[in-house]
Amino acid sequence: MRNKLTIYLLSGGLALLLLALISLYSGVYRFSDASVWKILMQGLSNPAAIAPGDHYVLFSLRLPRMVMAMLIGSALAVSGTCLQGMFKNPLATPSLVGITSGASLFAALAIVLGAGLKAFLPEMLQYSLISIMAFLGAILTMTLVYRISNTNGKTNIVIMLLAGVAISALAGAVTGFLTYLTREEQLRDLAFWTLGSLGGASWVKNGILTVVVTVSFVLLINKGKALNAMMLGEKDAAHLGIPVEKLKKQIVILAALMVGTCVAFAGAIGFIGLIVPYILRLIFKSDYRIILPLSAILGSILLLCADTVSRTIVPPAEIPIGILTAFMGAPVFIAILVRFKKSM
């Protein structure tokens, strides 16, 4: 079981690496030297030796964007898997439960209200502020939805989804209003918030994301056993020595942190937290010991794929990445609903 997981993780990592190379190659801009690898190596050792165009495209556009796609894909997939474990349902994902909307709302608030501060704060601090606000929005909505839908350790799925709809509607309205009022460029682009985009990738954002993702993964990735036990019900999990309340708090805080940061930097990219665990469940049943670590890799692969396609399918334009994830996610959503209906 241990060895199998290692093999899956390794082959997933390899696939991701291959995909990363392909992603660096693809795009409207053609490098003067055909080998990206060469430019990459040279750029690190002797930046002056390569064409400035090549250097800019690779190091300031494609590379940060690729890294951001991997980090966000991974973060969204892992938070989706953890939420499903906590709510004990495959429909509990950041976007359906309304957490993404809550985070968007608070991020938008931070951008609008923080506009005046922009001149005085260093870039790092600005982005940290936005992601902290998005985190607060995420944690607030998550707590609210959990409180509304949970009675005696059991989640009422219908209530959970409807609470998500209600919160999304409210957050959407307020975000829309803010967008309408403000002159802030980032908010101006409504598509950015509603459909998500990795176009704003930068090394500063990647730095913050890396810290958030690393901390969360260290604490969450080994919770597979605990999430499996949670399927028995919270009381039975407690009899197995699982600290249920502590686990739930950890998941709420860390998932909110990850989703919040992702939303702050890339808008509301939906469905990754739904698709990734769904695919893994098809192959590995519901064993969180396997699907939790694997969702970190598959999330990266999926979002990197989607992003590469989104910027190459209609050159020289770029379609919002959320359109692609929704194309994949909506059928999965329907498939889960159909199965859910059967089990009722």
Partner 1 sequence: MIKAQNISFAHRKFRILDQVDLSVGNHELLVIVGPNGAGKSTLLSLLANETESNEETIFFKDKRFSEWSSKALAVHKAKFSQQNNADIPLPAKDIVLMGRYPYFNSSPGREDLQVVADMMKATEVAHLAERNYNALSGGEKQRVHLARVLAQLQNDIEHKLAFFDEPLNNLDIKHQFNILNTIRQFTRKGNSAIIVLHDLNLAAQFADNVLLLKNGKVVAHGRPQVVFTEAVIRETYNFPCTICPNPITKNPMIIFGIQRNSNT
The nearest distance, CB 76 to partner 1, in angstroms, is 22
According to the binding rule CB under 8 A, does residue 9 interact with partner 1? no
Tell me which residue of 286, 245, 255, 235 sits closest to 90, measured CA to CA. 286
According to the binding rule CB under 8 A, does residue 248 interact with partner 1? no
According to the binding rule CB under 8 A, does residue 28 interact with partner 1? no
The position carrying tokens 């605990």 is: 226
Q: Where are the beta strands (DSSP E) in the chain?
A: 150-151, 154-155
Q: Write the Ramachandran bin of 13: left for phi over 0, alpha for psi from -120 to 50, otherwise beta.
A: alpha
Residues in a beta bridge with 151: 154
- DSSP conformation class of 241: T
Choosing from 55, 148, 233, 253, the residue that interacts with partner 1 (CB under 8 A) is: 233
According to the binding rule CB under 8 A, does residue 223 interact with partner 1? no
The nearest distance, CB 1 to partner 1, in angstroms, is 5
Q: Nearer Cβ to partner 1, position 61 or 232?
A: 232
Residues 178 and 285: their CA atoms lie apart, in Å, by 43
Choosing from 11, 35, 60, 222, the residue that interacts with partner 1 (CB under 8 A) is: 222
The nearest distance, CB 293 to partner 1, in angstroms, is 10
The position carrying tokens 């699982």 is: 242
Q: Nearer Cβ to partner 1, position 244 or 268?
A: 244
According to the binding rule CB under 8 A, does residue 88 interact with partner 1? yes
Q: Nearer Cβ to partner 1, position 193 or 288?
A: 288
Choosing from 12, 176, 189, 287, the residue that interacts with partner 1 (CB under 8 A) is: 287
Stretch touching partner 1 by CB under 8 A, among 1-9, 29-37, 169-177, 310-318: 1-9
According to the binding rule CB under 8 A, does residue 184 interact with partner 1? no
CA angle 252/258/259 to nearest 5° reads: 85
| HEC profile of 245-303 | HHHHHHHHHHHHHHHHHHHHHHCCCCCHHHHHHHHHHHHHCCCHHHHHHHHHHHHHHHH
Residues 287 and 91: their CA atoms lie apart, in Å, by 16
According to the binding rule CB under 8 A, does residue 263 interact with partner 1? no
* Contact set with partner 1 (CB under 8 A): 1-2, 5, 88, 222, 225, 228-229, 231-233, 235-236, 238-243, 281, 285-287, 289, 343
